[in-house]
Each structure stands twice: as structure tokens, then as C-alpha cells.
A = this chain, B = another copy of it.
Amino acid sequence: MKHITIKDVAKKLNVSISTVSRAFNNKYDIKEETKEKILKTAKELGYKPNPIAKKLSQQRSFTIGIIVPEFSNNFFPEVMLGAQEVLLKEGCQALIMQSNHSWEVEKKNVETLVNNMVDGLIISLTSESKNNAYYNDLIKQNIPIVFFNRTVDQIKASKVLFDDYKWAMFATEHLIVQGYKNITHLEGDKNLTLTKNRLRGFTDAHKKYKLTVGKVVPCGFKMEDGERVAQEMIDKSEVPRAIFAANDSSAVGAISVFKKNGYSIPKDIAIVGFTESNLAKHTTPTLTSVEQPTNDIGQTAAKLLLEQINTKGLFVPQTIVLNGRLNIRDSSVKII
């Protein structure tokens, strides 16, 4: 497969390659007439600028890297879609990699992307990642990075966050005001800021209503985590009256184990999820959940990153917090 190059176009028209290059990059003076002529024959010849050569020459790739822990949950795909919308408008391309919940893979992905000269990175950390120093180093090397949702406080970079505290509080409150006592929180992966914030929302909701804070059970974000924890609760005969789960996946996992063991939702156990997934509307009962503005998160992260890239250095890290919504469904309503 032979690529047509700028040279072929130049030769065909008896102009220099620099003229052809100029025709494709509006920033230089060039006679309108020759420009059109070049553009026309370039199209005829099927010329496509080679981005690789452009990258090498410009030391800039017009590509940004996106690293997410997983694709399986539909949260991340939706965020990426949002990011791609704004990147596309700026002529940037997204290079997507998944770290598959492993810090090693995440680090390797970062290196691959940096070596491939991405202009910047949009990252949501794996649950495991503890290497803030690594990222702070990268940032010191002037590699633009924006983090979203899964991040840690110690990293000094722009961030797009969801107010997990506030919405965890709302979610818990929703259970409390309906009169549920003995509410247990299934805690997400530790050492993520969002996990701490959701926990804080959970406890503060109790405090607000002057209730003793419910139990907190380490769980995780996967269905299997929810299944495991629910099974443990049943085995220990410590099944709570209501649950505020780490996320929808763990909630769904827990629900299925509870139901299998004869518990009825919400009659025996009320349950609220987090991070509205496409599951929520289709489980039985339908799942109450906090909806995050996925598309908006992606768009905001991309905008922030592009801004940072274009202002080279003299920018201040920003943290933008976005709003959500509590979708109340059958899994949490009080049956009288």
C-alpha cells in the first residue's frame, strides 16, 4: 500500500513541497489560485496528510490519551463519548486505553501514550493506584493531565469531579426520611477520594438527623463484590434493613444474592445504588440510583485539557465539580 505524499502532489504541479504544505496549513501566505489548484489535485491524487510525519516534525500530536479503569460499566464509555465530542471539534483525536484495574497496566499505558507524543492525558485512576508521586512527576515535566472522578487529593492537577459527598448524603437521606433505620453502606474501593466522600456523605446524613451512624462494610465496585458481601451478611445473620451501595454494580450483585435467599426488595431490604447504570431501570425491582452527568464530565475534562495545552504552563489547576440527580425507583420505596 503506497501512500501518496506531499512530494507526489508537488511533482505533479511543478511546485515545491513547501508550497503544497502551505496550501494545507492556512497560516502562511499563498496565492489563492495556487492553493486551490493544489487542493484540487491533492484530492484527485487521493493525498492524505501523514499524521505521523506531522507529529514528528511538529513535536505535537493533536492526539490526547484517555485512560480508564474499564469499559464494562457504561459510565466510562459515556464519559469518553462526551470527551470525544469536544476533542473532535478541535481537530484532536482520542487514543483510548484501559488499565483493567491494574496499576502496572495503567502506568504502562501512560508511558505508551507519552512516548507516542500525546498532547495531554485524561485519566481516571484504577482503584489500586497509590503512586501519586509518579503523576506529580509527570505534571512537573509539563505533561498536561486532567483527572476525572477517580483521583486522589495529593495529585496537583486539574480535576473534574462529581460531588460524591453531597449525593451520597442525599441518597442516604432519602432512606432516612422514609424511616429506615439500620442502614449499611457498602464501601467502594479504598484510597479513592470518591469512596471517602461517599462515606462521609453517608455518615453526615446520619448526623444531620441525629441518628447513630450505620455500619460500613468494605465492598468494592464489582457485581461479585456485592454478591460476596451480601452472602457474608446472610451467613452472619447481619442483614440490614437498608443499604446504600458503592455503585449500581455492587447493588445489583447484592440484590440478586438477597433475592436468591428469599429476601424481598424493598420489603425486607431497601437499597440505593450510585452512578446510574443502564441496569438501574431494568432490574427487578428497578433500582434507585444517583445519576452522574457522564457526558458533561467528559466534555468538561476535554475542555479543561485543551485549555491547559493551549496556555502552556501559565495556567492554574482547576477543580470543577458537577451536579447529578437522584432517580428514585422501586428498590428504596417504603412499603407500608
Contact = CB atoms under 8 A, between A and B. Distances in A.
Contacts of A216: none
A284 to B, nearest CB: 4
B1 A142 contact: yes
A117 B52 contact: yes
A91 to B, nearest CB: 12
Interface string A47-63: 01111110110000100
Interface residues of A, number: 44
A252 interface: yes
Most B CB within 10 A of own CB, among A52, A55, A100, A252: A52
Contacts of A100: 81
A71 to B, nearest CB: 4
A250 to B, nearest CB: 12
Interface of A: 1, 48-53, 55-56, 61, 70-72, 74, 76-77, 80-81, 93, 95-98, 100, 111-112, 115-117, 141-143, 223, 252-253, 255-256, 259, 278-279, 281-284
Contacts of A95: 95
Given A71-B76, A96-B97, 20 more contacts: A1-B141, A1-B142, A1-B143, A48-B115, A49-B115, A50-B115, A51-B115, A51-B116, A52-B55, A52-B116, A56-B56, A70-B77, A71-B71, A71-B74, A72-B74, A72-B278, A223-B278, A223-B282, A279-B282, A283-B284
A133 to B, nearest CB: 16
10 contacts: A1-B143, A51-B116, A52-B117, A70-B77, A72-B77, A81-B100, A96-B96, A96-B97, A256-B282, A279-B279
Contacts of A284: 259, 283-284
A51 B56 CA distance: 10
A208 to B, nearest CB: 33
Nearest to A68: B71
A284 B257 CA distance: 12
A139 to B, nearest CB: 10
Contacts of A72: 74, 77, 278
A252 B77 contact: no
A227 to B, nearest CB: 9
Given A1-B143, A72-B77, A48 B282 contact: no
Contacts of A253: 282
A86 to B, nearest CB: 15
